[in-house]
A and B are shown apart, each in its own frame.
Chain A
Amino acid sequence: DTAVSQTPKYLVTQMGNDKSIKCEQNLGHDTMYWYKQDSKKFLKIMFSYNNKELIINETVPNRFSPKSPDKAHLNLHINSLELGDSAVYFCASSPAGIDEQYFGPGTRLTVT
C-alpha cells in the first residue's frame, strides 16, 4: 500500500548506457515530480508534470527525458549516462493546487 513507489531501488550501470526509472503513485494526485539528490544531499527539482502535462522543466541536460503515460505514473529515461549522473533520484507527488509533496523511497543510480 505504498503511496509513492519507485523501481528500481538501486541501479548500477556503465557510462554511455541508457536507463529508465519508474514511478507510480496511488494517492490520486494530479502532479508528479522528479528530484535529484547529490552526494552532499542537496535536493533539486528536475521536472514536474500536472495531469500528464509538463509544467516545470529545470536546466537539465536533454539526455534526461520524463514521460507520463497517465497521471499516476512518471518515468525518467536517461540516455548516454555520465559519471556525474550518479545520485539518488526521488519521485514525488502532490494534489492539484496544493503544495504538499510526498516523496518516494528513491533510486540510487551509480554510473561506473
Chain B
Amino acid sequence: GENVEQHPSTLSVQEGDSAVIKCTYSDSASNYFPWYKQELGKGPQLIIDIRSNVGEKKDQRIAVTLNKTAKHFSLHITETQPEDSAVYFCAASIGNQGGKLIFGQGTELSVKP
C-alpha cells in the first residue's frame, strides 16, 4: 500500500542552526506534499506545502524541496528558534482519492537555547 517514510524521528539542534527533515513516498501519482507542525496539546498546523509542478518553495525561514524522480521531499528550517520546537509531519496526497493524505511518522524537533 501507499506509505510515507520520515526521518529522523528526533532531531536536536542549537538555536540558530538549521534543521532538515526528509520524507520519501511510494505513490508515483502523489502530487501534493504538505508539512504540518504540531505543538503539545494542539492540532497539526499547516506550515508550508508544495505541488508536483514545483521543485522548491520558500516562506521566510522555512523551505521545502521536492524531487519527483526520487520520490522524496524535505523541509528546511533556517535560523531555528526555541519556538520551532514541536513535532513536524510530512504528508503526501494519494492519487485521485479525494484529498486523502498519508502522513509520515513525525519528527520531534528540539531547539536548545
Binding site for B on A (CB under 8 A): 4, 31, 33, 40-45, 48, 50, 55-56, 90, 94, 99-106
User: What is the minimal beta-carbon distance from B77 to any residue of chain A, in angstroms?
Assistant: 19
B20 contacts partner chain A, Cβ-Cβ < 8 Å: no
Binding site for A on B (CB under 8 A): 32, 34, 36, 38, 41-46, 49, 87, 89, 93, 97-101, 103, 105-106
Contact A103 B99, beta carbon cutoff 8 Å: no
Cα(A40)–Cα(B104), bound, Å: 12
Cα(A42)–Cα(B100), bound, Å: 15
Contact A99 B99, beta carbon cutoff 8 Å: yes
- 20 new A-B contacts, CB < 8 A, other than A41-B106, A99-B93, A104-B43, are A31-B99, A41-B87, A41-B105, A42-B106, A43-B103, A44-B103, A45-B100, A45-B101, A48-B99, A48-B100, A55-B98, A55-B99, A56-B99, A99-B49, A101-B99, A101-B101, A102-B46, A103-B43, A103-B44, A105-B42
Query: Chain B at the A interface: mostly helix, strand, loop or mixed?
Result: strand
User: What is the minimal beta-carbon distance from A107 to any residue of chain B, in angstroms?
Assistant: 10
In the complex, the number of residue pairs spanning A and B with C-beta atoms less than 8 Å apart equals: 56
Contacts of B34 in A (CB 8 A): 99-101
Contacts of B99 in A (CB 8 A): 31, 33, 48, 55-56, 94, 99, 101
